[in-house]
């Protein structure tokens, strides 16, 4: 087994392509050798976290932890794009193990973004050199989605005998819930209310008063250790307050949301594809009614093809924002939420359909798909639930709608119309219909004050995610056809196949936005009987319906590509 390689030259954002490919290959080889399917299934059945494997991956054997440590502290200085590719690869192997590895990344995040130079040097170097396992302790029994309800307290301990009131340390008391690596970590980032406000502290295993609960008996990711933590007046020195200043905790957590949501989005992608990549070969071998399942349209066009289109739409969005984060555009929290929402929901649906694709066999523990389906379920819950993502997306884009007097999505639509003029085959004209309809639905919601209904607000989040990801997939298909794809982009599909996928997803997005937008606006009382026809016309419904033409033949083509039946284009 080759450990992952150290990164490329100075000043470079992230790994070079060769280094990334070598790293992905090392992960695949490690998994092939140490984590065959039967072993994963047995560990899942025993509800066991393979600690030595996790330590091997985050230590000398494989060195994945180096990926997210800056070069200055002995790491590889990987960027967002590298993180997405590695997280997808890890998730394809096992989402529980991927979660354990990611927990160290999450746990060290507050250090990465907010620690003092001395703290960074101390902790990040230790993670790089010693393979220290971290855990991220934010959630509490009564503070999940609403972290502001935090109850864990950090009380100042003043230096004895000093008049100037210098803080010697803190005594932390409270409890944390559902903490990944909770029972196995060497060090923990703990969010607690200090007198100056929520703050992150580093607490080491074995500190007096610090105890870990027994592993939770979970639905999925059973190879990942999840445990509650209890802190009873746990003393830490003042230099364990991350950043050396109280009250910065929530900002430090916010600063990396785009990045961390991107990694969970990649988990959704990896889980979904891991399931489909088992269902696809299964259906070529399985004969029913005289022919393989792979030749039955009612099977492929329901259980395989639409899921591939949704996952690839999620991937297009992930790749776009990873590139933007690496280009220094900030943390892109809302975009991270869109990526996480679409890719994890798509991953879940893909795994569920893949289980169905195996019939009774899919329902048994003996086949990995049953485990993958349980595992991928967590991705719509942790790092912010899908509902919280919908709210985040909707609120942010609502602001854009208001700021631009309703023009934001009309303007986006016009960029897609321009793209269509240059690349008529990628479905950009259909996405433009979706975006115009979205702008109309949002305007109707503004006029009728419909977002006072939380249901409308959150459903708008879904429509926005579909429309924006569809736009992204068009751009990705166009870019690939011009030979300008990101050099580290995933390349499973050629330009022709990606264009077909883009058209399929564009039709779904346009239909969803226009039809569900209509239903919501009318359902919330925002459209009177006499206005319905005019509103339908403003949504471009006839054009959206007309754009569905060609759907079946595009799906046929994608199925042919997936099953290796399509003729290879002269130049891919
Ligand atoms: C296996 C696992 C590993 C985890 N690992 C970690 C970890 O390492 N570190 C960590 O800090 N946390 C971790 N978590 C916690 C995870 O992030 C939370 O479970 C998640 O944020 C949801 O919080 P909750 O469970 O309290 O649910 P709640 O917030 O109570 O939500 C329950 C339901 O209500 C919905 N909901 C909540 N608020 C609203 C609202 N305002 N409007 C509408 N609907 C709403 C939610 O979407 C959800 O469907 C983990 C959880 C699990 C299960």
Closest CA to ligand 1's atom 2: 178
Distance 567 CA to ligand 1 centre (A): 47
Mutate to test the pocket of ligand 1, among 54, 382, 457 (most ligand atoms within 8 A of CB): 382
pLDDT digits 0-9 by tens, 483-505: 999 999 999 999 999 999 999 99
CA dihedral of residues 273, 275, 276, 280 (deg, nearest 10)? 140
Extract the tokens encoding 271.
């889980």
**Per-residue confidence band for 569, with pLDDT thresholds at 50, 70 and 90:** low
Closest CA to ligand 1's atom 27: 144
Distance 302 CA to ligand 1 centre (A): 31
**Per-residue confidence band for 163, with pLDDT thresholds at 50, 70 and 90:** low
CA dihedral of residues 408, 416, 562, 84 (deg, nearest 10)? -50
DSSP state of 399: H
Distance 103 CA to ligand 1 centre (A): 16
**Per-residue confidence band for 568, with pLDDT thresholds at 50, 70 and 90:** low
Q: Where are the alpha helices (DSSP H) in 423-516?
A: 428-447, 454-481, 495-511
Looking at residues 171-185, what average pLDDT do you find?
98
CA distance 531 to 260: 44
Mutate to test the pocket of ligand 1, among 145, 220, 379 (most ligand atoms within 8 A of CB): 145
CA distance 282 to 353: 13
pLDDT digits 0-9 by tens, 251-278: 998 888 888 999 999 999 999 999 999 9
pLDDT at 456: 98
Closest CA to ligand 1's atom 50: 178
Ligand 1 is surrounded, with C-beta below 6 A, by 103, 136-139, 144-145, 178-180, 218, 221, 226, 378, 381-382, 384-385, 387-388
Residue of 88, 140, 312, 383 marked catalytic: 383
This prediction's pTM: 0.96
Closest CA to ligand 1's atom 7: 179
Q: Is 383 a catalytic residue?
A: yes
pLDDT at 255: 87
423: alpha, beta or left? (left if phi > 0; alpha if psi -120 to 50): beta
The backbone torsions φ and ψ at residue 564, rounded to the nearest 5 degrees and listed phi first, read: 65, 25
Distance 144 CA to ligand 1 centre (A): 5
Residue pair 155/241 in contact by the 8 Å Cβ criterion: no
Helix (H, G, I), strand (E, B) or coil at 487: coil
DSSP state of 378: G
Closest CA to ligand 1's atom 26: 144
CA distance 366 to 92: 18
pLDDT at 7: 35
CA distance 410 to 210: 55
Look at residues 447, 446, 460, 444 and name the one whose alpha carbon lies nearest to residue 391.
Answer: 460
DSSP state of 231: E
Asked if residue 196 has pLDDT above 70, the reply is: yes
Distance 204 CA to ligand 1 centre (A): 25
Asked if residue 4 has pLDDT above 50, the reply is: no
Dihedral sign (CA 118, 119, 122, 128) = negative
pLDDT digits 0-9 by tens, 292-349: 999 999 999 999 999 999 999 999 999 999 999 999 998 899 999 999 999 999 999 9
């Amino acid at each position: 087994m080759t450990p992952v390689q150290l990164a490329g030259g100075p000043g470079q954002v992230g790994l070079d392509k060769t280094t990334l490919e070598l790293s992905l290959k090392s992960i695949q080889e490690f998994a092939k050798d140490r984590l065959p399917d039967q072993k994963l299934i047995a560990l899942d059945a025993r509800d066991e976290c393979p600690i030595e494997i996790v330590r091997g991956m985050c230590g000398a054997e494989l060195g994945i932890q180096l990926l997210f440590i800056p070069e200055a502290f002995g790491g590889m200085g990987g960027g967002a794009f590298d993180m997405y590719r590695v997280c997808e690869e890890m998730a394809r192997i096992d989402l529980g193990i991927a979660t354990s590895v990611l927990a160290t990344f999450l746990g060290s995040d507050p250090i990465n973004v907010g620690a003092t130079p001395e703290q960074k040097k101390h902790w990040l170097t230790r993670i790089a050199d010693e393979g220290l396992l971290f855990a991220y302790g934010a959630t509490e029994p009564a503070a999940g989605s609403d972290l502001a309800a935090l109850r864990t307290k950090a009380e100042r301990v003043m230096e004895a005998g000093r008049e100037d009131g210098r803080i010697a340390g803190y005594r932390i008391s409270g409890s944390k819930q559902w903490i990944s690596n909770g029972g196995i970590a060497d060090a923990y980032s703990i969010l607690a209310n200090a007198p100056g406000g929520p703050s992150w502290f580093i607490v080491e295993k074995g500190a007096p008063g610090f105890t870990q609960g027994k592993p939770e008996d979970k639905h999925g990711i059973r190879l990942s250790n999840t445990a509650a933590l209890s802190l009873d007046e746990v003393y830490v020195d003042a230099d364990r307050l991350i950043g050396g200043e109280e009250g910065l905790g929530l900002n430090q957590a916010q600063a990396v949301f785009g990045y961390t949501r991107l990694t969970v989005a990649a988990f959704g992608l990896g889980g979904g594809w891991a399931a489909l990549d088992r269902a696809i070969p299964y259906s070529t071998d399985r004969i029913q009614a005289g022919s393989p399942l792979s030749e039955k349209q009612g099977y492929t066009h329901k259980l395989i093809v639409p899921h591939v289109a949704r996952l690839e739409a999620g991937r297009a969005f992930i790749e776009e924002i990873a590139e933007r984060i690496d280009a220094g555009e900030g943390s892109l929290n809302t975009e991270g939420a869109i990526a996480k929402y679409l890719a994890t929901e798509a991953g879940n649906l893909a795994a569920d359909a893949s289980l169905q694709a195996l019939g009774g066999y899919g329902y048994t523990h003996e086949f990995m798909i049953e485990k993958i389906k349980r595992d991928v379920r967590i991705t719509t819950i942790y790092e912010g639930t899908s509902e919280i993502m919908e709210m985040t997306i909707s609120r942010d884009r609502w602001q854009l709608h208001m700021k631009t007097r309703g023009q934001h999505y009309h303007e986006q639509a016009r960029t897609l119309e321009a793209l269509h003029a240059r690349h008529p085959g990628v479905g950009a004209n259909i996405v433009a219909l979706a975006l115009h309809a979205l702008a109309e639905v949002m305007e109707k919601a503004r006029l009728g004050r419909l977002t006072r209904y939380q249901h409308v607000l959150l459903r708008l989040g879904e429509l926005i995610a579909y429309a924006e990801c569809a736009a992204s997939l068009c751009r990705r298909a166009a870019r690939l056809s011009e030979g300008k794809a990101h050099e580290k982009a995933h390349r499973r599909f050629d330009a022709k196949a990606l264009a077909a996928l883009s058209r399929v997803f564009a039709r779904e997005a346009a239909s969803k936005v226009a039809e569900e937008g209509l239903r919501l606006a009318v359902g919330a009382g925002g459209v009177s009987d006499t206005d319905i026809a005019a509103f339908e016309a403003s949504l471009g419904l006839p054009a959206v319906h007309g754009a569905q033409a060609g759907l079946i033949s595009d799906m046929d083509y994608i199925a042919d590509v997936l099953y290796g039946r399509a003729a290879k284009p002269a130049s891919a």
